[in-house]
């Protein structure tokens, strides 16, 4: 039920050289397009590339130079074709988040004096969880008042399950002689917190993979030369977690309530795990299927939607974990985010795509027509349009909307 390559390519910019040597190419055809597919194809593995990926750093961009400098906001909107709702986003290097209508009108703002927010997660009381990278997790109410703050090396995102418990990606630097005799190892964990911020326990993703049938995803780095300024060997680089709510459990045990869907950037793999049993149930990816992907999410038909970053061009693909077949993809010559990236399947069947590094987001129909486009109106001091980790569409009536908006 799974097919993975045992490695990914090296982290950018080293990835470009490694991919050229391996002959990898993730570029799609010229011209924007969406299509259904039935491909399975063989995956590629290379242990040298895996070692390079683990020891190289990941250079996240603050933004990119945009030819369009007249501002931002909603640039294109076709109300008859775009899904209704409110759009939540946080400019990457600011400690605030906005909720705006499809026409660009700002309806709500959360703001706090803190470090910049890497990720924001809406809550049923109209509040937010704001993640300050490798520093703290903050719970705010709808009025931006702090309910609690928890210090920790949180990163990328958090997921909230049906009971309100919070599942957060946390990074630890550990000495693991069995992995490398000298260099520290960056160990990704999932830490579980109560709705009140109390730590309830955790799970090591590194140990989970190492003890599974997919242990070959972890390259042998014992002899690798690690740069002196490296924070550590990053064997997994987990960059997204989702907790299944069980609504599709009748289709397959893969979708049982409480199971994790996790993206691992270094090996370019997404996996489903049962945290209670400590088992990896399914894994898929590796070039050419996936390259440095972000934000896998389970959609209502039992397929997984994922932003596949690629090396020179990005794409969005939909894969069926029961057959390992790619069933839909969106590609365009102007779609590329070297890091980050997000996707959301909307109620009308359209797909909301965040091209994170450029600060753009757009909604496409199943046929690939763009019916809504947004550009982050904030710029860095260097004149670059600020990156956006994720734009999320909250549908009318969503209980996570702040008071006064849920009925509109």
pLDDT classification of 65: cutoffs 50, 70, 90: low
DSSP conformational letter for 358: G
Backbone angles phi, psi at 138, to 5 degrees: -125, 135
DSSP state at residue 91: B
What is the C-alpha end-to-end distance of the chain, expressed in Å? 43
Greater confidence (31 vs 295) lies with 295
Burial of 59 (0-12, 13-18, 19+ CB in 10 A): exposed
pLDDT surpasses 50 at 389:
yes
Q: What is the pLDDT of residue 34?
A: 82
Task: Write out the E strands in 194-313.
Answer: 199-204, 238-243, 260-264, 269-274, 279-285, 294-298, 304-308
pLDDT band at 208, cuts 50/70/90?
A: very high
What local confidence, expressed as pLDDT, does residue 41 receive? 38
Phi and psi at residue 267, to the nearest 5°: -85, 0
CATH architecture of the domain with residue range 3-394: 6 Propeller (2.120)
pLDDT, residue 404, reads 84
User: Is the pLDDT assigned to residue 63 strictly greater than 90?
Assistant: no
Give the angle subtended at the CA of 191 by the CAs of 171 and 266, to the nearest 5°: 40
* Alpha-carbon span 306 to 119, nearest angstrom: 18
Predicted confidence (pLDDT) at residue 146 exceeds the cutoff of 80? yes
Model confidence, pTM: 0.89
Q: Note the pLDDT tens digit of each residue in 313-361.
A: 999 999 999 999 999 999 999 999 999 999 999 999 999 999 999 999 9
In percent, the amount of the chain with pLDDT more than 90 equals 79
pLDDT classification of 385: cutoffs 50, 70, 90 = very high
Look at residue 68 and tell me whether its pLDDT is greater than 80.
Answer: no
Query: What strands, in cross-sheet order, belong to the sheet with 294-298?
Result: 33-39, 325-331, 315-320, 304-308, 294-298
Q: What is the pLDDT of residues 94-129, one digit of tens each?
A: 999 999 999 999 999 999 999 999 999 999 999 999
More confident of the two residues 8 and 310: 310
What average pLDDT does the structure give for the chain?
88
Angle in degrees, CA 167, 315, 383, rounded to 5: 80
Q: Which residues, in sequence order, are CB contacts of 70 under 8 Å at separation 6+? A: none
Query: Taking 90 as the threshold, does the pLDDT of residue 9 lie above it?
Result: no
Which residues have CB under 8 Å from 43's CB, separation 6+?
3, 4, 5, 285, 286, 287, 288, 289
Above pLDDT 70, what percent of the chain? Answer: 83
What average pLDDT does this structure show over 266-288?
97
Where residue 47 falls among pLDDT bands split at 50, 70, 90?
low
Q: How sure is the predictor about 35, in pLDDT bands with cuts at 50, 70 and 90?
A: confident
**pLDDT number for residue 278:** 97
Residue 44 is predicted with a pLDDT of 38
Nearest-angstrom CA–CA distance, 22 and 121: 38
| Residue recorded with tokens 């986003």 | 89
* Contact indicator for 281, 209 with CB cutoff of 8 Å: no
Q: Looking at 21-35, 175-189, 251-265, which range is the least confident one?
A: 21-35
H-helix or E-strand containing 4?
A: strand 3-4
Q: Is the pLDDT at 211 greater than 70, yes or no?
A: yes
Token duo for residue 408: 């509109």
Specify the 3-state DSSP secondary structure of 192. Answer: strand
Candidates 372, 333, 338; CA nearest to 352 is 372
Q: What is the pLDDT of residue 406?
A: 59
| Rounded Cα distance, 122 and 87, in Å | 11
Nearest to 273 by CA among 227, 314, 214, 337: 214
pLDDT digit string, tens, across residues 374-383: 999 999 998 9
Q: Is the pLDDT at 16 greater than 70, yes or no?
A: no
Please check whether residue 371 is in contact with residue 348, taking contact to mean a CB–CB distance below 8 angstroms: no
Query: What is the distance between the alpha carbons of residues 75 and 359, in angstroms, rounded to a whole number?
Result: 13
Structure tokens at 126: 């109209």
- Other CB atoms closer than 10 Å to residue 367's CB: what's the count? 9
């Amino acid at each position: 039920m799974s097919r993975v390559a045992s490695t990914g390519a090296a982290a950018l910019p080293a990835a470009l050289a490694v991919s050229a040597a391996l002959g990898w190419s993730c570029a799609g055809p010229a011209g924007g397009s969406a299509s259904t597919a039935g491909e399975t194809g063989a995956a590629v593995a290379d242990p040298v590339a895996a070692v390079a990926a683990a020891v190289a750093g990941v250079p996240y961009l603050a933004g990119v130079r945009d030819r369009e400098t007249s501002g931002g906001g909603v640039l294109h909107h076709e109300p008859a074709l775009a899904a209704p709702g409110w759009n939540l986003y946080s400019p990457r290097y600011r400690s605030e988040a906005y909720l705006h209508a499809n026409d660009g009108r700002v309806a709500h703002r959360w703001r706090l004096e803190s470090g910049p927010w890497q990720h924001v997660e809406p809550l049923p009381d109209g509040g937010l969880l704001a993640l300050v990278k490798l520093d703290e997790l903050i719970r705010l109410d709808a009025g931006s008042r702090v309910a609690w703050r928890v210090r920790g090396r949180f990163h990328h995102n958090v997921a909230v399950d049906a009971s309100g418990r919070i599942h957060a990606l946390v990074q630890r630097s550990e000495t693991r002689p069995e992995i490398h005799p000298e260099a520290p190892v960056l160990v990704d964990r999932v830490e579980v917190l109560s709705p009140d911020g109390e730590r309830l326990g955790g799970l090591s993703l590194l140990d989970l993979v190492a003890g599974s049938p997919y242990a070959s995803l972890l390259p042998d780095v014992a002899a690798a030369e690690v740069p002196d300024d490296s924070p550590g060997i990053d064997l997994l680089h987990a960059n997204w977690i989702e907790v299944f709510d069980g609504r599709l459990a009748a289709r397959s045990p893969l979708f049982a309530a409480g199971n994790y869907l996790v993206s691992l950037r270094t090996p370019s793999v997404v996996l489903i795990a049962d945290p209670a049993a400590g088992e990896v149930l399914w894994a898929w990816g590796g070039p050419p299927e996936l390259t440095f992907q972000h934000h896998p999410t389970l959609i209502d038909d039992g397929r997984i939607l994922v932003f596949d970053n690629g090396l020179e061009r990005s794409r969005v693909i939909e894969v069926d974990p029961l057959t390992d077949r790619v069933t839909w993809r969106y590609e365009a010559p102007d779609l590329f985010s070297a890091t980050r990236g997000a996707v959301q399947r909307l109620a009308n069947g359209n797909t909301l795509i965040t091209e994170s590094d450029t600060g753009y987001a757009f909604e496409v129909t199943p046929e690939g027509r763009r019916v809504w486009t947004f550009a982050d109106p904030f710029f860095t001091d260097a004149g670059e349009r600020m990156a956006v980790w994720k734009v999320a569409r909250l549908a009318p009536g969503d209980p996570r909307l702040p008071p006064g908006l849920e009925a509109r």
